[in-house]
Structure 1
Amino acid sequence: MAGVAPERSTLLHLVAGGCGGTVGAIFTCPLEVIKTRLQSSRLAFRAIYYPQVHLGTLSGDGMVRPASLPPSLIQVLKSILEKEGPKSLFRGLGPNLVGVAPSRAVYFACYSGAKEQFSHIFAPNSSIVHICSAASAAFVTNSLMNPIWMVKTRMQLERRVHGSKQMNTLQCARYVYRSEGVRGFYRGLTASYAGISETIICFAIYERLKQHLKDPSWSPFTGSPEMNSTNFFGIMAAAAISKGCASCIAYPHEVIRTRLREEGTKYRTFMQTARLVFQEEGYFAFYRGLFAQLMRQIPNTAIVLSTYELIVYLLEDQIK
């Protein structure tokens, strides 16, 4: 970022990324809860929706295969509201808010710094620069934040009964530590690393669309450096398109990660989980909850990236 000292540039991206992530997390939390429930293999959850048939599996464990299609997003939403109450749609919001601001802050700061470094190695603002920057930032962020996301997933999978008291964030973290030790907080990390491919695809498409948005001959969006409503909504559209494409391509890692984070699960490693899901439930199980994911991630990413770009624009002149 020309004209801004490296330390202040990093601070700028920390603040902008944190604010964007927080706004997006609050607005899309209910959809994330529904998506996580749909990804889960918990038999207690499945029993709510449809009749079952007990089968044996290649792993030797018993499983329950549904006699009909998996529940829809609306069915899950209706069941949560009826059986657990509206508050359950915000399960995991605590660790989400605790984690999303620093994770987004770390991500965007690493992404911005890596982009500057890789621009000295490769052609500036080229696709390879965006790919390497996104991969580096995602690796650092996933490694640091996995314990918080692990606790969030456990809380979202916990079914609430009316009148019962559920574990809060600290209680859930203590329970994970007592029952599984420090290693328990890193369940699903390999799947998160596999999910770096989604981040790479998203930011490669996003940066390319941003470049086109600045070209008056290519699109109706203004190429002016001044931020206005046209630029803002153009950035939102670019973010939505890039995240939608990336989510559809790389979604199976999300299902595998949720299965690895379940309590008392038979799933142990990334490849073993992928093999079991395919053998027991078929290929389409890898896309369970995709619609809820798209409904959550597309607006969430549009909110996060547009808020980030807006805050960078507003604060950039203040810290020069």
Structure 2
Amino acid sequence: MSTSRLVSDASSSLPSPTSSKPKFLPGKSWQHFIAGGIGGMCGAVVTSPFDVVKTRLQSSLFLEKPVAVRIVGNGSATVVRSTSGAGGLLWNFVETGYILRNIYREESARALFKGLGPTLVGTIPAKSINFFTYGNGKRVIANNFNDGQENTYVHLSAAALAGIVTGTITNPIWVLKTRLQLASTVQNTDVDSRRYRGAGLTMVRKILREEGIRGFYKGLTASYVGVSEGIIQWVLYEKLKKSTASTESQRQGGTQAWLGMLASAGTAKCVATILTYPHEVIRTRLRQPQVNGVMRYTGLMQTLRLILAEEGTRALYNGLSAHLMRVVPNAAVVFSIYEGILLWAA
């Protein structure tokens, strides 16, 4: 056999220069969609009670509601609420426990899952869209703008895109969820806090009647500001996951590998939440229902100035403890299921 024939055969068996470059595979893109949706559903159900508490603490409609217990001299319990924020973050965690107990006693156990229907209707597509857009977006961006290699800028761009797309599509659902969770704090509401069947449809009609279609997009600007939280979370998660995966114990796989991934997801969410939390309070205020026919919070900057003038800076962190108690384990559940499904489907 001639030398030229040998060279030709050898060269034909080698992969083309572009074959080593990771490609965007449309056939696998739906794995991100399904995995994200399942993870979001499980996380939402497990942490729903903390979501109810968080929403109420963020809202100005709940400021005068009794949420804590003070033991007086004769041993009797008096329900009170401190609006001064005394006690710091540690007391806020204790306060969250009192709120959960009071909701259970005064409104029933089902009230701890108030708004779960809209939450699931919102969370499942939101997580599906977010993970789908991010997981495939980073591939497309890397393949087209960074020679097929992932880096911080690729992760940042994909996270920003995922946040904007998700927020725009799902905002009406979050408005509905917020209104339902605040229903029992508003007098003369059309939604009886003890009647859950049909409450969502009643609230939809109420919003359309009083505010029109625009009412379903309250807080959208704050949601766009909140895209920064998703960016920080995804970029930090990717870095922490890569760091933990580089250790010897992670390379061995098994339980330690999953614990490292869970720690990465929880830590990334915790840091991102603390850094960007004020937008959550502003967004909740913007989504509040009208009181006596008046919409008190009308815009992003107007809401920020009003909160600072009337309640101070601490009000921008109302509900932070309940929020952390919800989102950190939620992130661990969501990401573990997401990564698990992707691994299983690989």
Q: Which residue does 1:306 correspond to in 2? A: 336
Q: Is residue 34–residue 128 contact of structure 2 (8 Å, CA) maintained in 1?
A: yes
What are the ranges of 5 or more consecutive residues in structure 1 without an aligned counterpart? 51-64
Q: Which residue does 2:137 correspond to in 1? A: 114
Please report how far the alpha carbon of residue 2 of structure 1 lies from its aligned counterpart in structure 2 after TM superposition.
8.6
1:21, 1:67 → 2: CA distance? Answer: 33
Q: Which residue does 1:183 correspond to in 2? A: 214
1:66-215 equivalence runs, <5 A? 68-69=84-85, 72-120=95-143, 121-122=145-146, 124-159=149-184, 164-166=194-196, 168-215=199-246
Q: Is residue 221–residue 234 contact of structure 1 (8 Å, CA) maintained in 2?
A: no
Flag the structure with larger Rg.
2
2:181, 2:192 → 1: CA distance? Answer: 16
What are the ranges of 5 or more consecutive residues in structure 2 without an aligned counterpart? 1-19, 69-80, 87-91, 186-190
What amino acid sits opposite 1:245 in the alignment? V
Superposed CA offset, 1:42-81 (max 9, x none): 05x524258xxxxxxxxxxxxxx96644772123222212
Question: Does 70-79 or 101-110 show the bigger shift?
Answer: 70-79
1:143, 1:168 → 2: CA distance? Answer: 24
Q: Which residue does 2:325 correspond to in 1? A: 295
TM-score with structure 1 length normalisation? 0.86
1:20 aligned onto 2:24? no
Q: Which residue does 1:60 correspond to in 2? A: none
What amino acid sits opposite 2:175 in the alignment? M
Q: Is residue 183–residue 192 contact of structure 2 (8 Å, CA) maintained in 1?
A: no
2:307, 2:195 → 1: CA distance? Answer: 32
Structure 1 residues 47 and 22, CA gap change in structure 2 (3 angstroms): closer
1:29 aligned onto 2:48? yes
2:193, 2:216 → 1: CA distance? Answer: 29
Superposed CA offset, 1:245-268 (max 9, x none): 000000000000000000113100
Q: Which residue does 1:243 correspond to in 2? A: 269
What amino acid sits opposite 1:229 in the alignment? T
2:288, 2:67 → 1: CA distance? Answer: 20
Report the number of matched residues: 296
1:134, 1:222 → 2: CA distance? Answer: 25
2:344, 2:22 → 1: CA distance? Answer: 15
Alignment counterpart, residue 251 of structure 2, candidates 223, 231, 236: 223
Q: Is residue 99–residue 145 contact of structure 1 (8 Å, CA) maintained in 2?
A: yes
1:46 aligned onto 2:70? no
Structure 1 residues 4 and 313, CA gap change in structure 2 (3 angstroms): farther
